[in-house]
Amino acid sequence: MTYPLTTIILAAGKGTRMPSKNPKALQTVLGEAMLSHVYTVAKSISNEVYTVVGYKADMVKEHLLKNHGEEALQRTIFQEEQLGTGHAVQCAMKKIKEINSQENQKILILNADVPLISKELLIDFIKKSENLPLSFISLYLPDAKSYGRVVRKEFLSKAKHTPCTKHEENKGEVEKIIEAKDFNVLYPQSEIFEVNSGIYLVDAQLLYEFLPLLSSQNANHEYYITDIIGLAKERNISLEAFCFENAEALLGVNNPLELNEAEKTLQKAINTKLMANGVVLHNQESIFISPFAEISAGVEIYGPCEIYGNSKIAQYTSIESHCYIKNTQIGESCIVKSFCHFEDAIVGNNAKLGPYARLRPQAELADNVHLGNFVEIKKSKIGNASKVNHLSYIGDSLVGSGVNVGAGCITCNYDGKNKFQTIIEDNAFLGSNCAFVAPVTIGKNSLVAAGSTITKDIPENRLAIARERQVNLNKKNKG
């Protein structure tokens, strides 16, 4: 169910504390960009999701289009200079006003770098905030780090703020949020452990009123969205910080250590849930599974292993260690031996694959297929019960059922400019070390002699030999 909400995801930042060729929003947690985690949750609860992009905007836009579709791309907002989270929201609201002039809109603001945020938590927050024009989520942290401090009445009313403030001393109504650097200047001997998660729910009207009032007179010389809390309070607008127990889901990711923590947290949650649902995980600490993957009860996985994207693995299939599987469907009762690498592929039931098999995009295997070591399949269909057991490359091909591909067979699909198709019909038997120069068709039940280079079509039921006949000559005697 979606709410009549407009969500803004702030994703324009560079991520200075995590240098990379990728903008921070595209750093991955369990194989998925942080932005994708947040976007997916946002989309599941709100009818309109806007993403503010800035640093390497083209990369982020391309990612949104590829992973979340045209609408996600259309609803990006460009923040040319990253002047702070307040400025990012200013850019967003300007565009939202142009497109959508509804006055009574509620705006949910999320950060792309809080990737573990869940649908349930946000729904809870939205319900709690029902009659409030402004609210946000806070959390308690034993180390408040660079988070904005939530400053309540009792803290402010104290003349002296030394020694360190305990939890109990930050009570009463929320007065404002003070960003870490500014807090440390204002209250050098003090500390507050209730911090801002960066998630706000606010009436559009209020934003239109307060956004022009933001100033950049602070330690970072940035426009902070957090200042709207103090501005609202000064104007007696009722507001609330809802402090959520589940702090782990609210942690921000600003550096590689925090990225690792987020990944470990999510990994533990996903693996625990899978095991509770009947998936057997051996060495589970080294198994990484995307939250978008579907693993059925009765599947057995041995770590280390990575299963990413919207992969699906059906019951009674076992995946041995050291496999990398992305956006791939695998049917029931398959055995995937160690060191396989699959991407954007489909596998039927009862397959035996690997060790060291590679499925590239658009590889489609029917039921009962066997692939052995060092076999690569690209953009090809392999029919029922066909076998490609050793050292082969099958690209741009249609392989029928009951076909046996001998060791070292290669489809020569590329002439340097164009790709061509190889068709191998049912029950063909290809001897070892053959080359098939595409486009070429191997007829049903035909046999190809080992070492052949096939350049012409082979009709059904033939034996094709395309190599020099062996001659055994007399050796010349020396001297």
Report, as residue numbers or ranges, the catalytic residues. Answer: 390
**C-alpha torsion angle, residues 262, 267, 272, 273 (rounded to 10):** 90
Site for ligand UD1 in 215-234 (CB under 6 A): 224-226
Contacting ligand UD1 (CB under 6 A), which of 148, 291, 395, 402? Answer: 148
Which position among 13, 291, 383, 431 is part of the footprint of ligand UD1 (CB under 6 A)? 13
Interaction of residue 265 with ligand UD1, rule CB under 6 A: no
| Cα 454 to Cα 420: distance, rounded to the nearest angstrom | 14
85 binds, among Ca ion, ligand UD1, none (CB under 5 to 8 A by kind): ligand UD1
116 binds ligand UD1 (CB under 6 A): no
Contacts of residue 182, Cβ cutoff 8 Å, sequence gap at least 6: 218, 219
CA–CA distance, 402 with 405 (Å, rounded to integer): 10
- Residue 115 binding partner per list ligand UD1, Ca ion, none, with a CB distance cut-off of 5 to 8 Å that depends on partner kind: none
Burial environment of residue 104 by CB neighbours within 10 A (0 to 12, 13 to 18, 19 or more): exposed
> Buried b vs exposed e over 58-86: b needs ≥16 C-beta within 10 Å?
eebbebbeebbeeebbebbbebeebbbbb
Between 226 and 254, whose beta carbon lies closer to Ca ion?
254
| 51 near ligand UD1, judged by CB under 6 A | no
Cβ contact 291:266 at 8 Å: yes
Q: Of 38 and 424, which has the nearer Cβ to Ca ion?
A: 38
CB of 139 to Ca ion, least distance (A): 13
Question: Does 291 engage in binding with Ca ion (CB under 5 A)?
Answer: no
Cβ nearer to ligand UD1, comparing 38 with 391? 38
406 binding ligand UD1? (CB under 6 A) = no
34 contacts 253 by C-beta, under 8 angstroms: yes
User: With respect to ligand UD1, which residue has the nearer C-beta, 104 or 217?
Assistant: 217
Distance (Å, rounded) from C-alpha 398 to C-alpha 432? 19
459: Cβ–Cβ under 8 A, 6 or more apart, which residues? 443, 446
Q: In this complex, which beta carbon is closest to ligand UD1, that of residue 12 or of residue 403?
A: 12
Contacts of ligand UD1 in 64-93 (CB under 6 A): 79, 82-85, 87-88
Minimum Å gap between C-beta 254 and Ca ion is: 5
Q: Rounded CA gap, 391 and 93, in Å? A: 57
Query: Which positions touch Ca ion (CB under 5 A)?
Result: 113, 252, 254
Residues making contact with ligand UD1 (CB under 6 A): 10-13, 24-25, 52, 54, 79, 82-85, 87-88, 111-114, 146-148, 177, 179, 195-198, 224-226, 252, 254
